[in-house]
Structure 1
C-alpha cells in the first residue's frame, strides 16, 4: 500500500510539473519566441525523468541498509549524469536558450517543493 501511495505521489508531482510547464511554455512562446517555450518544456521533461528515476529506485529499495544506501547513491549519481548530459545536449546540439532551461528547471523544483511543504503540513496536524 505504501509503494502505491508513493508512486501516486510521484505521478501527481510529475503531472503538475508538466501541466504548469506547458502553461509557462505557451505564455513564454507568446511573449518571446518558440525557442524559449521548447527550452521550458525540455527542462521540465528532464526534471520529470529525474523524479521518475528516483521514484522507481525508492520503490525498489532493498531491506538491508547498506544495499539501500548503495542503490540510493547510484540513483542520485544517475540523476546527476542524466541532468548534466541533458543540459549539455540542450545547449550544444539543440541550441536552446539558457533562460528557458532555467525557467523549466526552477518550475519543476518549485512544484516539488510545494508538494513537500503540503505533505509536511499534513503530517503536523
Structure 2
C-alpha cells in the first residue's frame, strides 16, 4: 500500500487528482484481494479435496471483488482506466516480489 501511496502522490503531481484516486482505489482493491486469499490459505482443511475447494472459492471470490470494484470505479466514480491498471499492477508486482523474497529466505 505504501508504494501505491507514493505512486498516487507522483501521479497527482504529474497528471492530476483523478489518476491519483484511481491508483489509490486500485491499491486498496488489491490489498482486499490479498487479504481474502491470505484468510482462505490460513484456514486450509487437512484433506486435499477440501483444500482445493477452499482455494477455488478464494479465487472466485477475488475475481468477483475485483470485477465489481473495477466496474464501480469506472462507471460510478469515473476513475481513469490507466490509473486503475497502474495501481493494480504495481501492488500485485510488489506483493509478488515480497513472496519471492520470503521464499528465497526460507530456502536459505
TM-score by length of 2: 0.95
Gaps of 5+ in 2: none
- Selected match of 1:69 from 52, 61, 86: 52
> 1:52 maps to which residue?
35
CA RMSD, aligned part only?
1.0
Counterpart of 1:32 in structure 2 is: 15
| Aligned equivalents of 2:29, 2:104: Cα separation in 1 | 28
Aligned counterpart, 1:123: 106
Deviation per residue, 1:64-113 (Å, 9 max, x gap):
11111111101100000110111011111110001110110011111012
Name the TM-score, length of structure 1 as normaliser: 0.82
Aligned counterpart for 1:87 among listed residues 55, 67, 70: 70
Q: Which runs of 5+ in 1 are unaligned?
A: 1-17
What is the aligned length?
108
Task: Return the alpha-carbon distance in structure 2 between the equivalents of residues 63 and 55 of structure 1.
Answer: 17
